[in-house]
């Protein structure tokens, strides 16, 4: 363990100085924010010192460097994590306590940067953590959005979006690297020129933007390796402040150029409904791709000279989904136009360096760009894509039967659009899905024509999570219990959690597991009370569904279950309900009406149920606003039921399922995404599996044999009642009825099979909660979930990427 402070005394002296230097005050007189900034600055400085050594070691050892390109990095708060990874968390807490301060209060001052939407962005952050823990020279490359994903407020039950101003008080972890800024060229036109008898191309009359990097240290567990996350901000190349306009009082015009440039990195995922927003998104994608590639080539050239043929030996570029799909064409452009390589040599390099992860099979989430928009913004990149596409067509063996259909499916340019997933596959040497079932669906359905052509490219890498952040850090009471039982080796090697199986029949240990869950429930209840005013009872089952809102994730089915149980209890006060708190949290995209209506429905049902004394003893509904990494770390440890109820075949993997499993929640889920692997590892008997399977769903649609109306008519009493209540004012008190949800289901034949799975879901829930009374058995299941969860550490996932994709 590379401890950054030798002892309490050394830390205390350094810390007092740090507070004085940033605030000009003694630690006693400073504010909590000052105390946080000083501590973060101190740790960041130490981290940067280690980073310099890690970097020098990578150079000396000729290590291959891995660049993880992602438009999202949902890193969460860093201070606690870095104290833990440097092995000084307890010592720092004690030293602060001696000075009269509480570490957790100081940590709560840290902004929680929302530089991502959900699973994809958090996965990228977990991967950074694990790359550093595994000693890989691995770097994140992304965007520094001035405003992260919106802050969610709930007003009259509805989601209202507010700006996420995470940089207001500065961000002590980042360092601006003006010296590494890169000029990015947009627009203009391509012209050819002759040099040594060869024709080369360049883009002229461009609008240039400066991409300025900010580096954030990534501290690996044990503190031996510190890597970095480099995020790019857009700025004007030169200041063109219009003094005349300013003196006229036209301030906006005076600084118009800066505003225009900065807009590119202003916000995560600008609303892509209109052409304007989409164009901004495309600019973002190109900016972080181009700047990232220039930056990594610069490092390569310093280490290995202009020996570009060595690039595959020393560099891996991983593209997280299709947002960085331009990595292939942009690297081609630079190698051909600027490094003067021949096409075939450049292509050989690119296709050995670039790899791609697919995260979704939903057609609407597979990116496509209109050729017109794209070629105007990036004319030379478009030419390269066009040439890749031409050569792809040429490579087809037209004597083979069915080649036309195969070409149609795999084409890059089609119907006036650029298909970014196809581009990614063609430019990559490896294509992976994120759970076994998802990788199989990719191979057999979504990308089956590519799979037929190059089966060797395709592989599975089931997702993972940082067990240190989401277990050790988030759940200190349980983690302490585990360490007392099996030692702390599991922090490094999560497979050691397996040793907990020895305690499955130890009554006292199981009681302690239950007690730790209880403490976490109390902690969450206090948070909920402070945030929303709602009082929830830690004696009830905490049933949790926390994730982005999306129709296929079926939060709707969950709240319909709550409505059904409510109806039955009201009809019959003797109907047994295991006292439960139904907890929801998550954001809906600002333009996604159905998802926003589902949030409004949950809050409206909550309003009725929470104020109905007839059911209050046995049920409460709780919506926790503004789901983000920091409150997720409070929610997962308190959960007893993990709701993973997506329509089978639609959730690529899911990762909250893993975090909840690790924290001892029992999965109530469909056989979808990584739920399947969870059930296999922990044993079906320790989860509650229900519903249609992916092949059954496929068969249902293929045979045209599902009729939502028939399902409704077959269950008028319960399902019919719930559906009627969407329109009959039962839950309209807060802000009206829910016709749009009703219509979406009934007019579109229940596209996510909510009604088809409704009864088996409610039955499974009743059976599961019915067993809650036997606490020993319940706690044993919880323990076996934790004990089986080591495989879901992102350390394991990263080792697979390292060995099978990056060869680093
Ligand atoms: O929806 C998927 C999740 O199933 C998955 O666990 C996560 C990480 O692999 O990625 C999510 N995802 C997919 N986020 N964005 C997309 C499509 O761009």
Residue of 118, 124, 359, 677 best suited for mutating to test ligand 1, as the one with most atoms within 8 Å of CB = 359
DSSP 63: P
Identify the CATH class of 535-773. Answer: alpha beta
Which of the residue ranges 84-88, 240-244, 630-634 would you say has the lowest mean pLDDT?
A: 240-244
Q: State in Å: Cα 791 to ligand 1 middle.
A: 19
Query: Contact 536/622 with Cβ under 8 angstroms?
Result: yes
Answer yes or no: is pLDDT of 135 > 80.
Answer: yes
> Is there an atom of ligand 1 within 6 Å of 321 CB?
yes
Mean pLDDT of the chain: 97
Average pLDDT over residues 123-130: 98
For residue 122, the ligand 1 atom closest to its alpha carbon is 8
Share of the chain above pLDDT 70, in %: 99
Q: Quick one: CA torsion of 325, 331, 334, 340, rounded to 10 degrees?
A: -140
Q: How many CB atoms sit inside 10 A of residue 770's CB?
A: 12
> Is there an atom of ligand 1 within 6 Å of 651 CB?
yes
Q: 245 vs 241, 252, 597, CA distance in Å?
A: 9, 9, 46
Number of residues in the chain:
808
Q: What is the pLDDT of residue 271?
A: 60
Q: Which residues of 536-560 are buried (b: 16+ CB within 10 A; e: fewer)?
A: bebebbbbbbbbbbbbbbbbbbbbb
> Is there an atom of ligand 1 within 6 Å of 367 CB?
no
- Split at pLDDT 50, 70, 90, the class of 97 is very high
Query: Contact 242/154 with Cβ under 8 angstroms?
Result: no
Tell me if residue 27 falls in helix, strand or coil.
Answer: coil
Q: State in Å: Cα 485 to ligand 1 middle.
A: 35
Q: Please list the alpha-helical segments (H only) found in 499-623.
A: 507-532, 555-571, 593-610
Q: State in Å: Cα 359 to ligand 1 middle.
A: 5
Share of the chain above pLDDT 90, in %: 96
Four-residue CA torsion sign, 473, 478, 480, 482? negative
Kindly report the backbone phi and psi dihedral angles of residue 798, in degrees, each rounded to the nearest multiple of 5, phi listed first: -65, -35
- Split at pLDDT 50, 70, 90, the class of 541 is very high
682-697 pLDDT, tens digit each: 999 999 999 999 999 9
CA distance 420 to 788: 37
Which secondary-structure segment (H or E) carries 217?
strand 207-219
Q: 150 vs 119, 172, 285, 303, 422, CA distance in Å?
A: 16, 22, 20, 41, 31
> Look-up: residue for tokens 């293929």?
702
Q: What is the phi-psi region of residue 196: left when phi exceeds 0, alpha when psi lies from -120 to 50, beta otherwise? A: left
Answer yes or no: is pLDDT of 481 > 60.
Answer: yes
Answer yes or no: is pLDDT of 270 > 80.
Answer: no
- The residues assigned a catalytic role are 359, 547-548, 553, 655, 659
Nearest of 482, 425, 418 to residue 454 by alpha carbon:
425
Domain residue spans in the chain? 1-61+77-111, 62-76+112-428, 535-773
For residue 367, the ligand 1 atom closest to its alpha carbon is 18
Burial of residue 619 (CB within 10 Å: 0-12, 13-18, 19+) is buried
Q: What is the pLDDT of residue 274?
A: 59
CA distance 399 to 310: 37
Q: Quote ipTM for the complex.
A: 0.99
Q: How many CB atoms sit inside 10 A of residue 527's CB?
A: 15
- Split at pLDDT 50, 70, 90, the class of 95 is very high
139-155 pLDDT, tens digit each: 999 999 999 999 999 99
Burial of residue 275 (CB within 10 Å: 0-12, 13-18, 19+) is exposed
Q: What is the pLDDT of residue 611?
A: 98
For residue 463, the ligand 1 atom closest to its alpha carbon is 9
- Split at pLDDT 50, 70, 90, the class of 241 is confident
Tell me if residue 370 falls in helix, strand or coil.
Answer: strand
For residue 118, the ligand 1 atom closest to its alpha carbon is 14
Which secondary-structure segment (H or E) carries 189?
strand 189-195
Both tokens of 195, joined, read 């040099």
Q: State in Å: Cα 120 to ligand 1 middle.
A: 5
CA distance 571 to 215: 60
Answer yes or no: is pLDDT of 273 > 60.
Answer: no
> Is there an atom of ligand 1 within 6 Å of 164 CB?
no
Q: Give the chain's count of helices (H) and strands (E).
A: 34, 23
624-661 pLDDT, tens digit each: 999 999 999 999 999 999 999 999 999 999 999 999 99
Answer yes or no: is pLDDT of 553 > 90.
Answer: yes
Average pLDDT over residues 407-423: 98
DSSP 671: S
Four-residue CA torsion sign, 429, 435, 436, 440? negative
Q: Which CATH superfamily is domain 62-76+112-428 in?
A: Glycogen Phosphorylase B; (3.40.50.2000)
Q: Which residues of 439-462 are buried (b: 16+ CB within 10 A; e: fewer)?
A: bebbbeebbebbbeeeeebbbbbb
Report which protein residue has its CA nearest ligand 1's atom 14: 120
Answer yes or no: is pLDDT of 222 > 60.
Answer: yes
- Split at pLDDT 50, 70, 90, the class of 65 is very high
Q: What is the phi-psi region of residue 766: left when phi exceeds 0, alpha when psi lies from -120 to 50, beta otherwise? A: alpha
Query: Contact 163/181 with Cβ under 8 angstroms?
Result: no
> Is there an atom of ligand 1 within 6 Å of 654 CB?
yes
- Split at pLDDT 50, 70, 90, the class of 277 is confident
Which secondary-structure segment (H or E) carries 621?
strand 619-624
Query: Contact 560/610 with Cβ under 8 angstroms?
Result: no
> Is there an atom of ligand 1 within 6 Å of 420 CB?
no
Average pLDDT over residues 396-413: 96
Does pTM top 0.95 for this prediction?
yes
> Is there an atom of ligand 1 within 6 Å of 463 CB?
yes
Q: Cα–Cα–Cα angle for 351, 652, 520, nearest 5°?
A: 125
Q: How many CB atoms sit inside 10 A of residue 283's CB?
A: 20
DSSP 104: H
Answer yes or no: is pLDDT of 497 > 70.
Answer: yes
282-328 pLDDT, tens digit each: 999 999 999 999 999 999 999 999 999 999 999 999 999 999 999 99
> Is there an atom of ligand 1 within 6 Å of 652 CB?
yes
> Is there an atom of ligand 1 within 6 Å of 365 CB?
yes
Kindly report the backbone phi and psi dihedral angles of residue 106, in degrees, each rounded to the nearest multiple of 5, phi listed first: -65, -45
Query: Contact 726/719 with Cβ under 8 angstroms?
Result: no
246-255 pLDDT, tens digit each: 889 988 888 8
- Split at pLDDT 50, 70, 90, the class of 14 is very high
Answer yes or no: is pLDDT of 37 > 90.
Answer: yes
Both tokens of 95, joined, read 């030293």
Q: What is the pLDDT of residue 239?
A: 82
Residue of 367, 435, 653 best suited for mutating to test ligand 1, as the one with most atoms within 8 Å of CB = 653
CA distance 416 to 411: 12
- Split at pLDDT 50, 70, 90, the class of 272 is low
Kindly report the backbone phi and psi dihedral angles of residue 430, in degrees, each rounded to the nearest multiple of 5, phi listed first: -140, 140
Tell me if residue 54 falls in helix, strand or coil.
Answer: helix
Tell me whether domains 62-76+112-428 and 535-773 share a fold.
yes
Query: Contact 96/166 with Cβ under 8 angstroms?
Result: no
Pairing of strands 619-624, 189-195: unpaired
């Amino acid at each position: 363990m590379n401890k950054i402070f030798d002892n309490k005394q050394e830390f205390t002296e350094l810390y007092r100085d740090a507070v004085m230097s940033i605030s000009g005050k003694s630690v006693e007189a400073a504010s909590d924010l000052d105390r946080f900034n000083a501590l973060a600055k101190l740790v960041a400085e130490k981290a940067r010192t280690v980073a310099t050594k890690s970097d020098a070691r990578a150079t000396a050892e000729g290590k291959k460097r891995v660049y993880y390109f992602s438009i999202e990095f949902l890193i969460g708060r860093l201070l606690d994590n870095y104290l833990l990874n440097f092995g000084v968390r307890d010592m720092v807490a004690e030293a602060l306590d001696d000075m009269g301060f509480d570490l957790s209060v100081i940590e709560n001052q840290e902004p929680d940067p929302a530089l991502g939407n959900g699973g994809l962005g958090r996965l990228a952050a977990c991967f950074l953590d694990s790359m550093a823990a595994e000693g890989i020279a691995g770097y994140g490359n992304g965007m520094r959005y001035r405003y992260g994903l919106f802050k969610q407020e709930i007003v009259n039950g509805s989601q209202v979006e507010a700006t996420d101003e995470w940089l207001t008080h500065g961000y002590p972890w980042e360092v601006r690297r003006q010296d590494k800024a890169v000029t990015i060229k947009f627009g203009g036109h391509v012209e050819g020129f002759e040099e040594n008898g060869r024709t080369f191309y360049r883009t002229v009359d461009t609008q240039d933007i400066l991409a300025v990097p900010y580096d954030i240290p990534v501290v690996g567990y044990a503190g031996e390796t510190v890597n970095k996350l480099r995020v790019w901000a857009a700025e004007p190349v030169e200041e063109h402040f219009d003094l005349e306009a300013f003196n006229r009082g036209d301030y906006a015009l005076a600084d118009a150029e800066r505003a225009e440039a900065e807009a590119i990195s202003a916000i995560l995922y600008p609303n892509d409904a209109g052409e304007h927003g989409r164009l901004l998104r495309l600019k973002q994608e190109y900016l972080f791709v181009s700047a990232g590639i220039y930056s990594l080539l610069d490092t390569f050239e310093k280490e290995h000279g202009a020996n570009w043929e060595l690039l595959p030996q020393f560099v891996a570029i991983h593209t997280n989904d299709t947002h960085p799909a331009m990595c292939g064409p942009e690297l081609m452009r630079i190698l051909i136009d600027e490094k003067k390589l021949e096409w075939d040599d450049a292509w050989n390099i690119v296709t050995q360096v670039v790899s791609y992860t697919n995260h979704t099979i939903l057609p609407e989430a597979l990116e496509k760009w209109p050729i017109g928009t794209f070629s105007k913004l990036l004319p030379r990149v478009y030419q390269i894509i066009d040439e890749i596409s031409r050569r792809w067509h040429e490579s087809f063996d037209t004597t083979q039967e069915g080649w036309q259909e195969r070409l149609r499916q795999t084409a890059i340019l089609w119907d006036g659009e650029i298909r970014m997933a196809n581009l990614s596959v063609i430019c990559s040497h490896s294509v992976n899905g994120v759970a076994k079932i998802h990788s199989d669906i990719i191979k057999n359905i979504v990308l089956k024509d590519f799979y037929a052509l190059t089966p060797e490219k395709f592989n599975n890498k089931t997702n993972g999570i940082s067990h240190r952040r989401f277990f050790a850090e988030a759940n200190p009471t349980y983690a302490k219990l585990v360490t007392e039982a099996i030692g702390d080796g599991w922090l490094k090697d999560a497979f050691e959690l397996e040793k907990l199986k020895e305690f499955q029949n130890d009554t006292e240990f199981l009681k302690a597991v239950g007690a730790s869950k209880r403490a976490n429930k109390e902690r969450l209840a206090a948070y909920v009370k402070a945030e929303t005013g709602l009082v929830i009872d830690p004696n009830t089952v905490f049933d949790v569904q926390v994730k982005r809102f999306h129709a296929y994730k079926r939060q709707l089915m969950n709240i319909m279950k709550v409505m059904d149980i409510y109806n039955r209890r009201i009809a019959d006060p003797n109907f047994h309900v295991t006292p439960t708190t139904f907890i929801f949290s998550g954001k809906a995209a600002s333009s996604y009406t159905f998802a926003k209506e589902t949030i409004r429905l949950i809050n409206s049902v909550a309003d009725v149920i929470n104020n109905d004394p007839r059911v209050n003893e046995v049920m409460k509904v709780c919506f926790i606003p503004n789901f983000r990494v920091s409150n997720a770390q409070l929610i997962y440890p308190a959960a007893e039921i993990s709701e993973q109820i997506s329509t089978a075949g639609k959730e690529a993997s899911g990762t909250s399922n893993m975090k909840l499993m690790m924290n001892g929640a029992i999965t109530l889920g469909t056989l979808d995404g990584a739920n399947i692997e969870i059930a296999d590892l922990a044993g079906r008997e320790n989860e509650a599996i229900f519903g249609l399977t992916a092949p059954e769903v496929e068969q249902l649609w293929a045979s045209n044999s599902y009729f939502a109306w028939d399902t409704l008519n077959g269950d008028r009493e319960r399902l019919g009642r719930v559906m009627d209540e969407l329109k009959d004012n039962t839950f309209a008190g807060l802000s009206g009825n829910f016709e749009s949800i009703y219509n979406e289901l009934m007019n579109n034949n229940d596209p996510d099979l909510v009604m088809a799975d409704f009864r088996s879901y409610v039955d499974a829930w009743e059976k599961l909660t019915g067993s809650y009374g036997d606490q020993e058995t319940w706690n044993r299941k919880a323990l076996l979930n934790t004990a089986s969860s080591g495989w879901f550490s992102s350390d394991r996932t990263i080792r697979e990427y390292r060995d099978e994709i990056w060869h680093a």
